[in-house]
Amino acid sequence: MPQQLTDRFGRTVNYVRLSVTDRCDFRCVYCMAEDMTFLPRQQVLTLEEIARIARNFVSLGTEKIRLTGGEPMVRKDILELVREIGTYGLRDFAMTTNGSQLTTMAEPLRKAGLHRLNISLDSLDADKFRSITRTGKLSQVLDGIDAAREAGFRGIKLNTVVMKGRNDEEIPELIEFARRKQVDISFIEEMPLGNISEHDRGLALCTSDEVRTAIRDHHELVPATEDSGGPARYYRMPDSPIRVGFISPHSHNFCATCNRVRVTVEGRLLLCLGNEHSVDLRRVLRANPVTDDKLRQTIINAMDLKPERHDFSTNGDVQILRFMNMTGG
């Protein structure tokens, strides 16, 4: 049994989200400013450094890794990293993607050892999709979702950030789409990460309760009995195998059962999505190129910094200055 990571509040940390790039081919309005400056190359971890961090987390009890970004697929050689981490014997190995490159990448990713995919999809209307992502093309993502289904992943889930006045009217269509494609879907409340100009987050907030009401006009929703082990609360419909999840950072605080930490592509270990507490792993990695003892001890010590909870306000004020693409969503 490997050593376990435990924080001051008795929570076991066994899930790591690794950001592999801050770059992206989309510019989603809730995630990025239109005009973003990305990190210079020397500040970004190499693939070997990312794998080294992953390996050491696994030796400390990590059972689940998710690769994210930015858009993981814009990182050159991402397949090499997936292939390497795929050998670590994880219980769950997943990626979050915008789906833009899945037509060519879905099968190679699955063959390289990835278990599951989360694919972001905020609209089924090509014009709205373009206005939310600023640069994205809906048809490309829909083809990507089909390619992912054909590739035979253990699980595929769609992620939708719901915003009033932008895509809240589409909730029933998105549910029908997920039912037809037989993939799970989660609806996410927008979080105040980074300063955006396109809409007022306070006014655009669509709570999970409101989304559930919109779905219940069409389908019965029964709370799922199994524990998801994550922040999403899941429901099922009596006439479909898919699960419908709700991630509610505003209306339902999930911190008490938080089992995760994040590592940015600069090697900053973030102990909480909604707080700035962090530890610089890149400095430790680069100062100790041969042995991992210092790195492991730094990770173990960092657990003491994990805050008890996040506290997002709903008035649209920015509390966390880093954008989601830096955080690793």
What tokens were used for 175? 């549910």
Tell me: does residue 264 bind ligand SAM (CB under 6 A): no
Residues between 117 and 136 with contacts to ligand SAM, criterion CB under 6 A: 120
Q: Please give the Cα distance from 45 to 49 (Å, whole number).
A: 6
Tell me: does residue 265 bind ligand SAM (CB under 6 A): no
Tell me: does residue 263 bind ligand SAM (CB under 6 A): no
Eight-class DSSP state of 290:
S
Query: Could you tell me which stretch among 25-33, 46-54, 235-243, 289-297 binds ligand SF4 (CB under 6 A)?
Result: 25-33
Tell me: does residue 170 bind ligand SAM (CB under 6 A): no
3-state secondary structure at position 36:
coil
Residue whose structure tokens are 């789906």 = 99
Residue whose structure tokens are 């990713």 = 109
Query: Could you tell me which stretch among 24-32, 176-184, 202-210, 268-276 binds ligand SF4 (CB under 6 A)?
Result: 24-32
Per-position x/- string for 33-72, each x denoting binding to ligand SF4 as judged by CB under 6 A, each - no binding: ------------------------------------xxx-
Residues between 112 and 131 with contacts to ligand SF4, criterion CB under 6 A: 120
Choosing from 13, 20, 31, 272, the residue that interacts with ligand SF4 (CB under 6 A) is 31
Please tell me whether 326 is known to bind a ligand: no
Q: Which regions of the chain does DSSP assign to beta strands (E)? A: 5-6, 12-13, 15-19, 64-68, 92-97, 116-120, 155-162, 184-189, 222-223, 233-236, 243-247, 260-263, 268-270, 278-280
Eight-class DSSP state of 38:
P
Summarize as ranges the residues that interact with ligand SF4 (CB under 6 A). Answer: 24, 26-28, 31-32, 69-71, 98, 120, 324-325
